[in-house]
């Protein structure tokens, strides 16, 4: 790209010099014979220049799109590598604006600004040197115009980079509000807060508008100055050049070539402001993207693979604290042993750390003390892909994607057969998928918002069951189901859990009965482990905790008996 562009600059300078030779030679001497060869030479130079421009643009388009695609891929891979703590602190709109708006800014600079910044500077320097050699008084006029341009460009860049960053950050904030408004539309409408949310969005949009207008005003002043400078220089050159021809110090051909070369500088100078603005936007975008690339993943894949996993799960002195609150551990001194094929129900008050405990198994978070092992191997030593093929999780708040029901189900196991898919649907009592307009091939919409909470939970449960894990983690997965459906699901799950080690976060006594034993989590540690009936009889805290559930005391006494 650079080679063809620089050759093109040389050709654009050569054509006026051929014109000069034609005017000062055969035309002045009234010798027509050399005019045709010189005219054909100028035409050939113009054709070659056009071919080089076509070739550069073709190569440039392919190269720039490949760079953008590679950057988008690397950025997405890095986002997948970063831990849950990172995603918990970053607004989704800010991440989205970096993947879309910022990458586009970098692509535009790569595709236009970067190349022409070099070409235009080279053209300005070379043409100025040629003009100085042709007639130094006029060349000096052109050279002197560079001083105010350089000074103003430095000032412009310092101010523009600040305001450009503000605009891009505010675009990310606006994207966050737009996404939240779309995802939470049912909540917003149910509380009658549409006007309030619209007001927040409008305020952010007006703030972005004001900052963008400041940016436009700054750029407009700079670009106007760059438009005026070369035009003033052209007028001065015309006046001095005409005087020089009249005095015999300058030939007509030299003046024509000088003016032609001078006019060739008008666009490079005028475009300099646009290119510098584009460069600053690209630099700001790169800095914002590097904030993601520079974040070091705290969860790194190990190297070991479980050849024949059995699913023996152990928590050994486990402790965990969030990175921004290291002095306030969520878990401490957790010990729990779950044999292969055994199911443990984890029971605790809200905020006791049940979800955090289950997230340590597939390494959504890493322990800050102790260790979690599967078949005696620390999960931090296992390859992440292998670990997450051994462990499957169904969350209380399931995430479904804007793809078909079948694709959502097979997300954790792409090679599942039709029979296995139907079996998983049956276990999770998710037969409603067959009643969708196109059955399993129906697109269920972003985050499955077209489905009820219970339907989303059942579909997510079927996805986890279909993965056929050795360790199945159910994080209060049945909370949105009615009593009848919950009983059907629990009956089917008992067959599944016979072949898998199960960790079930439970709030209902009926869910607790899925487990072989119960672990009571209090104040960040497991205080009691035993059968449900034994804990009901001997641990008042456990009995009070389940009594606080929606189940009646009579029901609790019946199931414990």
**Tens-digit pLDDT profile for residues 33-76:** 788 888 888 889 889 988 988 888 888 888 888 988 999 999 99
The DSSP symbol for 452 reads -
What pLDDT, on a 0 to 100 scale, did the predictor assign at position 222? 84
pLDDT in tens, 115-163: 888 888 888 888 888 888 888 888 888 888 877 877 887 788 788 888 8
- Candidates 540, 555, 464, 471; CA nearest to 508 is 555
Instruction: Name the pLDDT band for 555 (thresholds 50, 70, 90).
Output: very low
Arithmetic mean of pLDDT, 172-197: 80
User: CA 336, CA 526: separation in Å to the nearest integer?
Assistant: 8
Instruction: Name the pLDDT band for 479 (thresholds 50, 70, 90).
Output: low
What is the overall mean pLDDT for the chain? 84
- Judged against a pLDDT cut of 60, whether residue 560 lies above it is answered with no
- Candidates 397, 398, 399, 402; CA nearest to 444 is 402
Structure tokens at 256: 């024509």
Arithmetic mean of pLDDT, 212-222: 89
- Judged against a pLDDT cut of 50, whether residue 556 lies above it is answered with no
Sign of CA dihedral 160, 165, 166, 168: positive
Fold of the domain built from segment(s) 2-293: ABC transporter transmembrane region fold (1.20.1560)
What pLDDT, on a 0 to 100 scale, did the predictor assign at position 549? 55
Phi, psi of 448 (to 5 degrees): 65, 30
Q: How many CB atoms lie within 10 A of CB 28?
A: 12
Arithmetic mean of pLDDT, 549-555: 45
The answer to whether residues 283 and 110 touch, using CB atoms and an 8 Å cutoff, is no
- List where CATH 1.20.1560.10 sits in the chain: 2-293
What pLDDT, on a 0 to 100 scale, did the predictor assign at position 319? 95
pLDDT in tens, 367-413: 999 999 999 999 999 999 899 889 988 877 778 888 888 998 998 78
Q: How many CB atoms lie within 10 A of CB 154?
A: 10
User: CA 503, CA 485: separation in Å to the nearest integer?
Assistant: 21
Burial 300-332 (b: 16+ CB within 10 A, else e): eebeeebeebbbbbbbeebbbbbeeeeeebbbb
Residues with Cβ within 8 Å of 75's Cβ and at least 6 positions away in sequence, in order, are: 98, 99, 103, 289, 292, 293
Arithmetic mean of pLDDT, 349-364: 89
Q: How far is CA 57 from the centre of its chain?
A: 28
What pLDDT, on a 0 to 100 scale, did the predictor assign at position 321? 92
User: CA 332, CA 354: separation in Å to the nearest integer?
Assistant: 12
What pLDDT, on a 0 to 100 scale, did the predictor assign at position 482? 65
User: CA 183, CA 447: separation in Å to the nearest integer?
Assistant: 8
pLDDT exceeding 90 applies to what percent of the chain? 20
Instruction: Name the pLDDT band for 361 (thresholds 50, 70, 90).
Output: very high
- List where CATH 3.40.50.300 sits in the chain: 313-560
Structure tokens at 376: 């005696």
Task: Identify the three-state secondary structure at position 299.
Answer: coil
What pLDDT, on a 0 to 100 scale, did the predictor assign at position 483? 66
- Judged against a pLDDT cut of 50, whether residue 553 lies above it is answered with no
Question: H or E segment at 129?
Answer: helix 114-134
Arithmetic mean of pLDDT, 244-251: 80
The answer to whether residues 481 and 473 touch, using CB atoms and an 8 Å cutoff, is no
Task: Give CATH for domain 313-560.
Answer: 3.40.50.300
The answer to whether residues 128 and 139 touch, using CB atoms and an 8 Å cutoff, is yes
Arithmetic mean of pLDDT, 176-189: 77
Instruction: Name the pLDDT band for 525 (thresholds 50, 70, 90).
Output: very high
SS3 content of the chain, % helix, strand, coil (to 5): 65, 10, 25
- Judged against a pLDDT cut of 50, whether residue 470 lies above it is answered with yes
What pLDDT, on a 0 to 100 scale, did the predictor assign at position 247? 80
- Judged against a pLDDT cut of 50, whether residue 550 lies above it is answered with no
């Amino acid at each position: 790209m650079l080679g063809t562009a620089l050759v093109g600059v040389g050709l654009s300078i050569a054509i006026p010099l051929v014109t000069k030779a034609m005017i000062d030679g055969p035309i002045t001497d009234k010798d027509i014979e050399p005019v045709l060869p010189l005219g054909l030479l100028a035409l050939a130079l113009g054709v070659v220049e056009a071919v080089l421009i076509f070739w550069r643009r073709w190569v440039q388009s392919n190269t720039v799109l490949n760079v953008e695609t590679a950057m988008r891929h690397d950025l997405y891979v890095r986002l997948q590598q970063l831990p849950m703590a990172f995603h918990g602190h970053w607004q989704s709109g800010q991440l989205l604006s970096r993947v879309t708006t910022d990458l586009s800014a970098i692509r535009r600079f790569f595709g236009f600004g970067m190349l022409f910044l070099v070409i235009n500077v080279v053209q300005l320097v070379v043409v100025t040197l040629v003009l100085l050699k042709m007639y130094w008084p006029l060349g000096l006029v052109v050279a002197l115009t560079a001083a105010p341009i350089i000074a103003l460009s430095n000032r412009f860049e310092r101010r523009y980079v600040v305001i450009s960053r503000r605009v891009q950050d505010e675009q990310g904030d606006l994207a966050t509000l737009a996404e939240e408004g779309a995802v939470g539309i049912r909540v917003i409408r149910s509380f009658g807060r549409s006007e309030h949310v619209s007001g927040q969005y409008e305020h952010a949009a007006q703030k972005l508008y004001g900052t963008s207008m400041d940016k436009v005003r700054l750029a407009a002043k700079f670009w106007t100055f760059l438009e005026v400078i070369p035009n003033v220089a052209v007028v001065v050159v015309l006046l001095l050049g005409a005087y020089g021809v009249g005095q015999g110090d300058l030939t007509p051909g030299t003046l024509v070539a000088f003016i032609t070369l001078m006019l060739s500088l008008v666009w490079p100078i005028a475009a300099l402001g646009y290119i510098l603005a584009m460069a600053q936007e690209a630099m700001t975008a790169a800095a914002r993207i590097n904030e993601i690339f520079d974040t070091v993943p705290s969860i790194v894949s190990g190297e070991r693979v479980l050849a024949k996993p059995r699913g023996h799960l152990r928590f050994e002195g486990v402790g965990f604290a969030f990175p921004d609150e290291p002095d306030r551990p969520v878990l401490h001194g957790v010990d729990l042993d779950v044999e292969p094929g055994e199911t443990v129900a984890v029971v605790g008050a809200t905020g006791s750390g049940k979800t955090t405990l289950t997230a340590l198994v597939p390494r959504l978070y890493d322990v800050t003390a102790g260790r979690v092992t599967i078949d005696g191997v620390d999960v931090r030593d296992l390859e992440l892909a292998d670990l997450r093929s051994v462990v499957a999780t169904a969350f209380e708040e399931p995430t479904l994607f804007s793809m078909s029901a079948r694709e959502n189900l097979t997300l954790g196991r792409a090679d599942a057969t039709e029979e296995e898919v139907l079996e998983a649907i049956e276990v999770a009592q998710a037969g409603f998928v067959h009643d969708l307009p196109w059955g399993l091939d129906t697109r269920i919409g972003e985050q499955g918002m077209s489905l009820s909470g219970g339907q989303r939970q059942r579909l997510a449960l079927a996805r986890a069951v279909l993965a056929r894990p050795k360790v199945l983690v159910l994080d209060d997965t049945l909370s949105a189901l009615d009593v009848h459906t919950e009983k059907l699901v629990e009956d089917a799950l008992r067959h599944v859990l016979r072949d898998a080690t199960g960790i079930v976060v439970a709030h209902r006594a009926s869910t607790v009965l899925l487990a072989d034993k119960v672990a009571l989590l209090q104040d960040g540690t497991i205080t009691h482990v035993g059968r449900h009936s034994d804990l009901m009889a001997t641990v008042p805290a456990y009995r009070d905790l389940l009594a606080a559930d929606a189940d009646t005391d009579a029901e609790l006494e019946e199931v414990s008996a």
